[in-house]
Structure 1
Amino acid sequence: MGDSTRKSDKPRVLIVGAGISGLVLAQSLRKQGGYAIGLYNPEGVLRDSLPGDVPPLETANHLLPLPLKSQLIFHGLDGRMSIVEDTPETPCLRTNRQKLRELLSTNLNIQYGKTAARIVEGPDKVTVFFVDDTSATGDIVVGADGTYSAVRPHVLKKSNDEVLKTVPFAVISGAVQLSGEVMERQLQLGHSGWVAFGPDYSLFTGINRVNVDNHGKVGGDYYWLMLIPDIMVTNQERDHWVVTSTFQERLEIAKSKVQDLDKKFRAPIELTTVEGMRAWPLWKDAEIPTLPPVDRVVLCGDAAHPIIPARGEGAIHAIYDAVNLGKVLGSANRNDMAVLRATLYKYHKEIAARGNEASQLARGALESARAGKPPMAWGHELRQLKELKPLPFKLADFEKKA
């Protein structure tokens, strides 16, 4: 737990979860000062909320040190392409999640290995009891602990099994290291990533981060997701083939399916080994159109509105939540809980409406794009792209300069 000197009228805030929303909220409160913050973990708007000692967001750019903009390209079934990239009109900075979390953790004292077991609210305090038999007491608890939130059941009075719904996609996923001409081709298809469509599936391929070894050789950590619409996933769950199959079997299915695609799209899957396969066969979201009035426990980010990554907007909404909640708590007085509860309830209503809409739109995003409708990603509508542009450099030339 990280405690800062605080004024007596400022609430003591316990943040359960050290993901993006929890870290942004903690930094926002630290910038405003006067708070005691307990943090526990199992773009313009964001910049303004961070203290001056937090490194620039650009340092978490997933493409560094390559001089490329964040960019996503959709390759339609009819050959038409759509693009969103970082421009003054469509600002977007895609970051490496690990780099961003390290950046947002600057000067925060995070208590790792803490999972909330139960929460007890009293007339003048709230206590979180953790599974390791420790506890923490404060004025407000923020559940920022993600899709499988341990705080959400306390707020909704429903278990996660009752709230979370399986999205009707069988998901096959993997990761692979690329370099040289293969990596150059992938960067041309979409600097940050690209989406292509097969007869009965959607394929996303993205770069997690760029690596430069001690000899200056450039490589990329790539990952891919093959989404196969299948309503049986929601009925069979753990008995569905995408769960019961081995990594080898899933890889063979993926390699077979991509034979329908142009060769340039096949490389990431064809170069993936069994060791690169990832266990992410089921996606979960939830329909939470409203959140209840607040006593001393409030939700933030995916804990309030689980969103699948089909439009790449989960982190965007989590950041908005955290920034807005930081403003609410910034004007809070712990001695006037009635006013604070009313303000937090307004916050709950806003994030529920916005987040639930985003969650439902994400569910149908890829099938909508497959049907030829203008896709949305990273908070922007993609514009048409007539032709792919060549990279402004060769990796070999870049490596010589490194």
Structure 2
Amino acid sequence: MAQRAPHILIVGAGLGGLLLGQTLRKNNIHFEIFERDRSDNIRAQGWAMGLHTILDELDASIPDDMPSRDFVNHLLPLKYNYEWAWYRHDRTKKLGIRDDGSGKFLRANRARLRKWLATNMPIQYGKHAIRIEEHDDLVMVHFEDGTSATGDILIGAEGSCSPSKKYLLGGEDVIRHPHQGMINGEVILSGHDMEQQLRMGVSCYLVDASLTDETPSFFFVGLSEVFPDGKSGRYYFNIFWRDENATKKDFWTYSASSEKLYETALEKTKHLPAKFRSIVEKTGSEGIKTPPLRLYTLTMDPELLPKGRITLLGDAAHSMPTYDSSRRRGFHALIDALKLGKVLSKQQTNNTDDIRRALGDYQDEMLERGSKAAEWSNCAYDKAWSGDDAGPRIIWGMPVVPLPEQKITL
């Protein structure tokens, strides 16, 4: 068979799959990208996430016809700099990081980020993968609608419950549920209420809400987006706590009513200063997400995953619990896409041994890096941050320092 550049199938048009597609588009590599959803707005895309150490590489990896990435800025039209704050157990001193205006990092509204990454992307919607086959030098994916696609390489980017992963592992279920309960809420704030939240953390903030060292609990609040009027915006919060029963698939929060979840949220924050608990009180039961986000942990030894014409990306390969719902997960999916894009852009042959070697090297690094991040997420919030040196020392690639108050006026 004559050798040629491989045709690539990307199954899953989340952040990682889309960025991989953009890197392939930039390098004129033949690919198809499939998404199980029937349109781009069926599912909520999460809230916001930080981008930092990959920004230069991101800019260099996307086609010239992409609009400015300023589009994804969750603070627009406000002119304040990004800020990530956190409060230790005493809940008095404000620590964290604040952008100096140099653009070292940005916090992206996740829906805007996905829309930006979907620019000029030939996404085929309504393509739910149900079966994968390998024949000689080809890979075939079958979809629920009766259609199929054939290529030389298949990238499984379908999320934690990836059909590609299931195929590679022979049906083995390696997903775990962390011992961490969670409640999520969303509310629109304006005027004084929004100013108060911005003062506590322009982009987001994290509070150690533990009552004792034996009952670790944390409270995360983030600004998802500012509305065009510049005086109102959409906020979200996550309350999470250690609970050994949360490892069960039928943990009580997943079947609880919004009223019950709201009562629990009030109970778990009632000891906090009024400025922190006010956002929960203003959310009400109508703003509570039912069911709350499901948390997964997925780590795999590189030896567990076969090497060949099929590999994985993002949550399909490594998934981690995190207070910010998708912050670390989404970030590592983007890293995967950038690294895999470089590998595929150099792949000029469909020779099986060459592909196995190239994808295998990517896979080993990706699994090791992702598994380390997942293990860190598993233990980072398993203890209260009651000590003077407790909590994170590096956020978004920058050292944590005391943050002076700044004047906020809308």
Q: Pick 1 or 2: higher relative contact order, CA cutoff 8 A, min separation 6.
A: 2
Question: After superposition, what is the alpha-carbon deviation per residue over 1:96-133, rounded to whole angstroms, capped at 9, x for unaligned?
Answer: 11111111111111011211101001112110001111
In 2, Cα distance between equivalents of 1:319 and 1:87: 24
In 2, Cα distance between equivalents of 1:168 and 1:281: 14
Tell me the equivalent position of 1:400: none
- Choose the corresponding residue for 1:31, options 23, 26, 33: 26
Q: CA deviation at 1:384?
A: 2.4
Q: How many residues align?
A: 379
Tell me the equivalent position of 1:44: 56
Q: CA deviation at 1:20?
A: 0.8
Q: CA deviation at 1:367?
A: 3.6
In 2, Cα distance between equivalents of 1:386 and 1:349: 39
Tell me the equivalent position of 1:337: 352
Question: After superposition, what is the alpha-carbon deviation per residue over 1:275-309, rounded to whole angstroms, capped at 9, x for unaligned?
Answer: 21112253111121325342211101111111223
Tell me the equivalent position of 1:297: 310
| Closer/same/farther in 2, CA of residues 301 and 86 from structure 1, 3 Å limit | farther
Q: CA deviation at 1:217?
A: 6.0
- Choose the corresponding residue for 2:300, options 271, 279, 288: 288
**What is the letter of the counterpart of residue 81 of structure 2?**
K
Contact 1:292 1:345 in 2 (8 A): no
Contact 1:374 1:382 in 2 (8 A): no
Contact 1:14 1:39 in 2 (8 A): yes
Question: After superposition, what is the alpha-carbon deviation per residue over 1:10-60, rounded to whole angstroms, capped at 9, x for unaligned?
Answer: 211100011111011000010011x22111112212111100111121211
Residue 235 of structure 2 aligns to a residue whose secondary structure is strand
**What is the letter of the counterpart of residue 359 of structure 2?**
L
| Closer/same/farther in 2, CA of residues 389 and 26 from structure 1, 3 Å limit | same
- Choose the corresponding residue for 1:325, options 314, 335, 340: 340
Tell me the equivalent position of 1:203: 219
- Choose the corresponding residue for 1:92, options 105, 112, 120: 105
Contact 1:308 1:359 in 2 (8 A): yes
Q: CA deviation at 1:380?
A: 2.6
| Closer/same/farther in 2, CA of residues 287 and 51 from structure 1, 3 Å limit | same
Contact 1:20 1:101 in 2 (8 A): yes
In 2, Cα distance between equivalents of 1:142 and 1:113: 18
Question: After superposition, what is the alpha-carbon deviation per residue over 1:165-186, rounded to whole angstroms, capped at 9, x for unaligned?
Answer: 1111111111000000110110
The normalised TM-score by structure 2 is: 0.87
In 2, Cα distance between equivalents of 1:52 and 1:281: 36
Tell me the equivalent position of 1:137: 150
Q: More helix per residue: 1 or 2? A: 1
**What is the letter of the counterpart of residue 24 of structure 1?**
L
Residue 174 of structure 1 aligns to a residue whose secondary structure is strand
In 1, Cα distance between equivalents of 2:319 and 2:160: 5
Contact 1:293 1:341 in 2 (8 A): no
Contact 2:238 2:323 in 1 (8 A): no
Q: Which moved more, 1:125-134 or 1:71-80?
A: 71-80
In 2, Cα distance between equivalents of 1:149 and 1:82: 38
Q: CA deviation at 1:88?
A: 7.8
Stretches of structure 2 lacking an aligned partner (at least 5 in a row): 37-54
Tell me the equivalent position of 2:175: 164
Tell me the equivalent position of 2:10: 15
1:228 matched to 2:241? The reply is yes
Contact 1:169 1:282 in 2 (8 A): no
In 2, Cα distance between equivalents of 1:369 and 1:83: 17
Contact 1:333 1:340 in 2 (8 A): no
Contact 2:299 2:374 in 1 (8 A): yes
In 1, Cα distance between equivalents of 2:366 and 2:393: 20
**What is the letter of the counterpart of residue 202 of structure 1?**
F
In 1, Cα distance between equivalents of 2:184 and 2:8: 38
**What is the letter of the counterpart of residue 113 of structure 2?**
L
| Closer/same/farther in 2, CA of residues 56 and 376 from structure 1, 3 Å limit | farther
In 2, Cα distance between equivalents of 1:90 and 1:169: 34
Contact 2:240 2:323 in 1 (8 A): no
Identity in percent: 33
Residue 225 of structure 1 aligns to a residue whose secondary structure is strand
Contact 1:156 1:292 in 2 (8 A): yes
Describe how 1:302-313 pairs up with structure 2 within 5 A. Answer: 302-310=315-323, 312-313=327-328
Stretches of structure 1 lacking an aligned partner (at least 5 in a row): 1-6, 396-402
In 2, Cα distance between equivalents of 1:317 and 1:9: 31
**What is the letter of the counterpart of residue 96 of structure 1?**
N
In 2, Cα distance between equivalents of 1:37 and 1:113: 17
Tell me the equivalent position of 1:389: 406
Q: CA deviation at 1:368?
A: 5.1
| Closer/same/farther in 2, CA of residues 338 and 371 from structure 1, 3 Å limit | farther
Contact 2:207 2:218 in 1 (8 A): yes
Q: Which moved more, 1:129-138 or 1:71-80?
A: 71-80
Describe how 1:175-194 pairs up with structure 2 within 5 A. Answer: 175-194=186-205
Contact 1:307 1:314 in 2 (8 A): yes
**What is the letter of the counterpart of residue 173 of structure 1?**
N
**What is the letter of the counterpart of residue 294 of structure 2?**
L
The normalised TM-score by structure 1 is: 0.89
| Closer/same/farther in 2, CA of residues 297 and 378 from structure 1, 3 Å limit | farther
1:76 matched to 2:93? The reply is no
Question: After superposition, what is the alpha-carbon deviation per residue over 1:133-187, rounded to whole angstroms, capped at 9, x for unaligned?
Answer: 111111100011112222111122234xx21111111111110000001101101
Tell me the equivalent position of 1:148: 161
Tell me the equivalent position of 1:254: 265
Residue 165 of structure 1 aligns to a residue whose secondary structure is coil
- Choose the corresponding residue for 1:115, options 111, 128, 133: 128
Contact 2:168 2:306 in 1 (8 A): no
Q: CA deviation at 1:85?
A: 3.1
**What is the letter of the counterpart of residue 65 of structure 1?**
P
Contact 2:295 2:320 in 1 (8 A): no
